[in-house]
Amino acid sequence: SGGKLLSSRTRRSSSRAAALLRLAAVTIGRSDTALGAFYRRLSARIGKQKAVTATARKIAVLFYNAIRHGMTYQDQGAAAYDERHRQRVLSNLQRRAKTLGFALAPIPETAAVS
């Protein structure tokens, strides 16, 4: 391959740990947690299977950090995750508008209602 990326697909795995992580990802997708909100956002955008894989990987990284470094995971909840995502999208929009020579301004509350 000469260093060229041939495929970005994840290969099938018969690992029991991978199967359990995917099962945990599907289950956590129905919960009102930050990981659940992450799963739901991804599944709407890229599909259920890829969202399961991405969420399982995120759970694996959290598990590894908990075991290896003794870090604790404190869930912020779905509302906090959604707010952080909203802020990130807003700052990206503002940055892009600025590079194009525009400035974003919020709509006044009275005009937004009607």
pLDDT of residue 112: 61
69-107: pLDDT as tens digits = 988 888 888 899 999 999 999 999 999 999 999 988 888
Listed range (7-16, 18-27, 72-81) with the worst mean pLDDT: 7-16
Query: In this model, does residue 111 exceed pLDDT 80?
Result: no
Long-range interactions of 52-56: CB distance < 8 A, separation 24+:
52/22, 52/25, 52/26, 53/10, 53/22, 53/25, 55/25, 55/28, 55/29, 56/18, 56/21, 56/22, 56/24, 56/25
